[in-house]
């Protein structure tokens, strides 16, 4: 547990929180909510996102509902360690797009006494574990899995189905390229899980 003394200094180690799920499930929305609450608590907050994610904004983290928070785009996860000095809370959006060093970076930050909140897709468009997310989820003290609504049947959606052709793993897109599906509809659409 993260405790504060009367001078607002960290007394115990930090921890890692993960918010994961399919596309359109509210991951970034939840990340922004947690970070804004930390700021209300007068904690020092820094937010990072992969520099390749420029869908809504080059600098801000923006949810599908257009909620936003200023962030620092980085090309590699090791840059986060260099920029997270004198910080209480670090937020990381679109974690699946980062390199394989991100779990070690998160662990190092938590060991420094920092609360680390990571948001990202847990599975790729093929229904397979995505990037560094499985390792981060295994290391995290808290994991929250959020769900979208299946665009075909209305049940809870766990999968991000790509609706356009292409085998490239990282293909930035929105509703024109992806739809959230439940397990049954994902299999019917050709997903192999």
3-state secondary structure at position 69: strand
Interatomic CA distance for residues 48 and 90, integer angstroms: 8
Q: Which residues contact 152 (CB under 8 A, 6 or more apart)?
A: 179, 181, 182, 185, 188, 189
Catalytic residue among 30, 46, 94, 179: 94
Q: What is the mean pLDDT of each run of 10 residues along the chain (193 residues)?
A: 43 88 93 95 94 60 60 92 94 95 98 97 95 97 97 96 75 69 95 79
Interatomic CA distance for residues 69 and 31, integer angstroms: 10
CA 64, chain centre distance (Å): 14
Interatomic CA distance for residues 139 and 123, integer angstroms: 17
CATH topology assigned to domain 15-146: Rossmann fold (3.40.50)
Interatomic CA distance for residues 80 and 157, integer angstroms: 32
Q: What is the pLDDT of residue 62?
A: 55
Kindly list the domain boundaries of the chain, sorted by start residue. Answer: 15-146
pTM (2 d.p.): 0.85
Establish how many alpha carbons lie within 13 A of residue 25's alpha carbon, considering only the half-sphere containing its beta carbon: 28
CA-wise closest residue to 35 among 121, 131, 115: 115
Interatomic CA distance for residues 26 and 64, integer angstroms: 8
3-state secondary structure at position 76: coil
Q: What is the pLDDT of residue 127?
A: 95
3-state secondary structure at position 16: strand
Q: What is the pLDDT of residue 135?
A: 98
3-state secondary structure at position 127: coil
Q: What is the pLDDT of residue 168?
A: 65
CA 116, chain centre distance (Å): 11
Annotation says 94 is catalytic: yes
């Amino acid at each position: 547990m993260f405790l504060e003394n009367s001078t607002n200094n960290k007394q115990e180690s930090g921890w890692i929180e993960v918010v994961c799920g399919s596309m359109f499930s509210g991951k970034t929305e939840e990340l922004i909510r947690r970070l804004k609450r930390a700021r209300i608590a007068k904690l020092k907050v820094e937010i990072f996102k992969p520099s390749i994610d420029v869908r809504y904004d080059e600098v801000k983290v923006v949810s599908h509902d257009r909620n936003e928070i200023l962030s620092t785009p980085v090309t590699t996860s090791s840059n986060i360690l260099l920029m997270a000095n004198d910080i209480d809370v670090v937020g990381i959006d679109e974690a699946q797009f980062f390199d394989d060093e991100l779990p070690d970076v998160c662990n190092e930050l938590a060991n420094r006494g920092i609360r680390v909140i990571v948001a990202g897709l847990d599975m790729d468009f093929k229904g397979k574990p995505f990037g560094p997310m499985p390792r981060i989820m295994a290391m995290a003290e808290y994991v929250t899995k959020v769900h979208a609504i299946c665009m075909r049947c209305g049940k809870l959606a766990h999968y991000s189905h790509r609706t356009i052709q292409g085998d490239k793993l990282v293909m930035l897109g929105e509703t024109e390229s992806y739809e959230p599906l439940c397990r049954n509809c994902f299999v019917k659409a050709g997903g192999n899980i």
